[in-house]
Amino acid sequence: MLTLFHAPQTRSSRILWLIEELGADVEVVYCEIAHRNGQRVGEGDPRNPHPDGKVPALIHDGALITESAAVALYLTDLHPKAGVGAPVGSPDRGALLTWLTWAAGELEPALFTRMGGASDAFAVARYEAAMDRLMDALWSGPFLMGDRFTVADVMVGSTLTWVRPMLPDSPLFDRYLDRLAARPSSGRAAARDNATGLEQAA
């Protein structure tokens, strides 16, 4: 049995999108988190098994998986027929792992630093390098790994959608994000997440 602990309209929303892409049978437990965007917004949910009280957290037959990239890869590997992953030993496996870990280890820190207003040479260079890498990939596109949509597009695309005003003014980004937004799975996940967020706010 798969159970996802999720807070609406957070970075774990991309896992909802992935679940829709995979057609996975996952119980989603909606829970409160203590912090959003670095600000304390309430108390953590005692049901949430994440050791830091964050989301996403996935339980599979008693095993705990946390951190978005790990959860995304774990779910994708469990559902190979969905075609958005790359099996161990396949030619695409290395590129897929690279994009997933780069998104968490390079892209997000570069964007968060930018959002915080840092303007030192290192911060600027890191941001520009991340944008250049994305544009190089999208120039070859239409997806990060060429013609095939993968879990890497879920992870990177969800982040870029969230920070779209911060991205360089380029039709490459516009076309890519429009392409992702047009996927039925993305629309279903967004509607599911927004509806639950409104219910909790009511």
* For residue 199, pLDDT beyond 80: no
* For residue 13, pLDDT beyond 70: yes
For residue range 50-72, what is the model confidence (pLDDT) as tens digits? Answer: 999 999 999 999 999 999 999 99
pLDDT at 38: 55
pLDDT at 41: 53
Tell me the C-alpha distance between 146 and 160, whole Å.
Answer: 18
For residue range 151-196, what is the model confidence (pLDDT) as tens digits? Answer: 999 999 999 999 999 899 999 999 999 999 999 999 999 998 986 6
Count of CA atoms in the C-beta half-sphere (13 A) of 96: 22
Count of domains observed in the chain: 2
Mean pLDDT of 69-93: 97
Q: Are residues 97 and 150 in the same domain?
A: yes
Q: Are residues 14 and 35 in the same domain?
A: yes
Alpha helices in the chain (DSSP H): 13-22, 68-78, 93-102, 108-115, 121-140, 151-162, 171-181, 184-201
User: Could you tell me if residue 88 is inside a domain?
Assistant: no
Quick one: pLDDT band at residue 33, thresholds 50, 70, 90? confident
Mean pLDDT of 96-122: 93
Tell me the C-alpha distance between 117 and 28, whole Å.
Answer: 35
pTM: 0.91
Tell me the C-alpha distance between 41 and 47, whole Å.
Answer: 17
Q: Are residues 131 and 193 in the same domain?
A: no
* For residue 4, pLDDT beyond 60: yes
> Residue 69 is part of which domain span?
2-83+185-201
Quick one: pLDDT band at residue 119, thresholds 50, 70, 90? confident
pLDDT at 202: 34
CATH number of 172's domain? 1.20.1050.10
CATH number of 197's domain? 3.40.30.10
